[in-house]
Structure formats: C-alpha cells, structure tokens
Amino acid sequence: MSWIILIFSGALEAVWAAALHRTFQATGQRRIAPALLFLVSVLASMAGLAFAMQTIPTGTAYAVWVGVGVVLTSAYAMITKAERPTTARLLLLTGIAACVVGLKVVA
C-alpha cells in the first residue's frame, strides 16, 4: 500500500510543478485556480511521501518520489511543447524510470 501511495504522491509532484508553472505563466499575473491546485497538490504529495516513509526507507522513498515526478513532469512538458522530446532526453528519462523500478525491485 505504501508503494502505491508513494507513486501517486510522485505523480502529484508533477501536478504541482505544472500548476506552479501555470500560476505565473506568460502574463506575469498570478492566477487563482492554478495557485489553489498547486497548494492542494503539494500538500497531498508531501503527506503521501511522509506516509510512505513510515515503511519505506527514506532514501528509497525520496528517490522514487522524485523519479516519478521528474519523468511525469518532463512528459507533460513535452506533450505541451514546452520542451522538445530529443533522443537524449527520452533515453535519460527512460534511465530514470528504470532506476525507479530497480529501487522497487531491490527494496
């Protein structure tokens, strides 16, 4: 159960990163809806990480949380055309995802 919550919390990390970007996007003026989404998702993400760290070693939990967040945030950036999906970027993100899976296997 802790692993599922940890992965979901990592996904919420991508949500709050995207919401933070949207909060101050283009016009330079703050937007309320993305700011609220940021606050809710960052709190839920941190709470899930804290819960998972009760049964998963701290280093492993944090690495998985960050890895899931990095891969999903980068995927979102590529889908929305904020970043280009270069071969090197895709290979490196695949490596991060493989390391996250590896940490689950050995934990």
**For 8-62, how does the pLDDT look when each residue is reduced to its tens digit (9 = 90+)?**
999 999 999 999 888 877 666 777 888 899 999 999 999 999 999 999 999 999 9
The confidence score (pLDDT) of residue 28 equals 63
Longest dimension (CA), the chain: 46
CA distances from 107 to 1, 56, 57, 71 (A): 14, 8, 8, 20
Tokens 């993305």: give the residue. 34
pLDDT at 102 exceeding the cut of 70: yes
CA distance 32 to 28: 13
CA distance 70 to 99: 12
